[in-house]
Amino acid sequence: MVAVTDLVAEAAALDAADPLAHKRNDFDLDAGVAYFDGNSLGAPPKHVAGRLAAVVREQWGGRLIRSWSEGWWEAPVRVGGRIAPLVGAAPGQVVVADSTSVNLFKALVAATRLQPGRDEILVDADTFPTDGYIADEAARLTGRTVRRVVAEDMPAQVSERTAVALINHVDYVTGRAHDLAGLTAALHRAGALALWDLCHSVGALPVELDAAGVDLAVGCTYKFLNGGPGAPAFLYVATKWLDRFEQPLAGWAGDRDPFAMRGAYEAHAGIERGRAGTPDMLSLLALDAALDVWDGVDRGVLREKGLALGDFFFRCADELLGGAKIPTPRGRDRGHQISVIDDDAAETMAALIDRGVIGDFRPPNVLRFGLAPLYTTYGEVLRAVTTLRDLRG
């Protein structure tokens, strides 16, 4: 049995050697709080508040309506271009607009239109609930059926009937990471399209959409990308599908000439066709500012730190929690989240939060600890485990 003092020394050594340690200074974090909920709401970069105040004061206040023609209108594509490298996408394939749910609906309906002879949508059986809800409604509106399949079983379950499969890159309960490239290839062998939900992976682990040949993807920006509460989501459409991507929300922002005010919609030729209505400029520009923290960050280094934080969590749990049940994989097939089974998860997490360790829980019995490599420290990991040990008596 390793003494806590030894783990304290180990955590200090790991923090001292951390190549990303300096990035924590970019965030507005209470020194008395250990924050493990960046997989639900990322911490605010320090400079965002000032940048957003300047937008309100100088752009909205000073330039008024003129700001729409001075950069606002093009912002969804410009900011999408900043996210593109974080998901392994070449320019011109990512747009920031609307919410994840809305973008899922656009992508699912568009996928069925790209596959007119196929009447089935496969959905990751363990998906985040909204994905399943949206898939059910998209299927109902397009005359398709939904079949729920465990992600790992999709290569055996996909068929000539399958138009598209919707998969979460990282499972939101267990933290398991699915094989994006392998599953995409298996779907393609059956002629189906691959639609990935990146909400729990973008900003946490390397994503290579182009290299994997992914067809469509969506993701939120308020988790590991730190875009702020309710920050707009993004939509990825592979270049090969752009000229045939017919999304169902034919709003004016996606028109090829939105200010022509024609009576009939004509889709834009590029990724702009993924837009629908007028963008939420304050949230969008807050996200734009938040993305500055990614400048110069090596995604490989980010991934290795995320895995190392998880490894240290496992080590501390093994030494201090006495056989705790942890459904998160211990290999590289995981995202940057550790889940712990606790019969009184809601009460336990509330008690952790009262003690300055902020994570979250998912019913009925899962404690979740998000590990954001840009600001989570090894010392905080040890604090989380020791606090959980103390609560368990």
254 & 285 share domain? yes
Mean pLDDT of the chain: 97
Whose tokens are 């409604």? That residue is: 137
pLDDT of amino acid 2: 77
State which residues form the domain around 367. 4-46+298-392
pLDDT of amino acid 1: 67
pLDDT of amino acid 8: 97
Give the residue-averaged pLDDT of 16-40: 97
Is 58 inside any structural domain?
Answer: no
**Where among 294, 314, 334 does a domain terminate?**
294
| Structure-derived torsion over alpha carbons of residues 156, 110, 234, 218, reported in degrees to the nearest 10 | -10
**Where among 270, 294, 318 does a domain terminate?**
294
Give the residue-averaged pLDDT of 351-359: 98
Please say if the pLDDT value at position 328 is more than 90: yes
Can you say whether residue 114 is alpha, beta or left, with left for phi > 0 and alpha for psi between -120 and 50 degrees?
alpha
Give the residue-averaged pLDDT of 191-206: 97
Q: Tell me the two tokens of residue 141.
A: 């509106």
23 & 86 share domain? no
277 & 360 share domain? no
Residues 164, 193 contacting (CB under 8 angstroms): yes
3-state secondary structure of 366: strand
Is 346 inside any structural domain?
Answer: yes
Is 40 inside any structural domain?
Answer: yes
Please say if the pLDDT value at position 323 is more than 90: no
23 & 104 share domain? no
278 & 235 share domain? yes
Residue 365 pLDDT grade (very low, low, confident, very high; cuts 50, 70, 90): very high
339 & 257 share domain? no
> 70 exposed, middle or buried (CB, 10 Å; 0-12, 13-18, 19+)?
exposed
186 & 305 share domain? no
290 & 303 share domain? no
358 & 318 share domain? yes
Residue 47 pLDDT grade (very low, low, confident, very high; cuts 50, 70, 90): very high
List pLDDT tens digits, range 337-348: 999 999 999 999
pLDDT of amino acid 145: 98
227 & 323 share domain? no
* Residue 147 φ/ψ, nearest 5 degrees: -125, 125
Is 377 inside any structural domain?
Answer: yes
Triad 264, 114, 258: Cα angle to 5°: 25
Please say if the pLDDT value at position 231 is more than 70: yes
Percent of the chain with pLDDT over 70: 100
pLDDT of amino acid 378: 98
Is 55 inside any structural domain?
Answer: no
Q: What total of structural domains would you count in the chain?
A: 2
pLDDT of amino acid 302: 97
Please say if the pLDDT value at position 237 is more than 80: yes
Is 162 inside any structural domain?
Answer: yes
Please say if the pLDDT value at position 241 is more than 70: yes
Residue 172 pLDDT grade (very low, low, confident, very high; cuts 50, 70, 90): very high
Give the residue-averaged pLDDT of 191-211: 97
pLDDT of amino acid 3: 80
CA distance 42 to 45: 9
Whose tokens are 């501390």? That residue is: 316
DSSP β-ladder status, 94-96 and 234-237:
antiparallel
> 344 exposed, middle or buried (CB, 10 Å; 0-12, 13-18, 19+)?
middle
Report the catalytic residues: 128, 197, 222-223, 368
Give the residue-averaged pLDDT of 255-275: 95
pLDDT of amino acid 141: 97
Please say if the pLDDT value at position 7 is more than 90: yes
List pLDDT tens digits, range 281-304: 999 999 999 999 999 999 999 999
**Where among 262, 294, 326 does a domain terminate?**
294
pLDDT of amino acid 393: 73
The whole-model pTM stands at 0.97
User: Residue 173 is part of a domain; what is its CATH number?
Assistant: 3.40.640.10
User: Residue 313 is part of a domain; what is its CATH number?
Assistant: 3.90.1150.10
199 & 106 share domain? yes
Q: Tell me the two tokens of residue 97.
A: 């607009």
Percent of the chain with pLDDT over 90: 97
Give the residue-averaged pLDDT of 316-339: 96
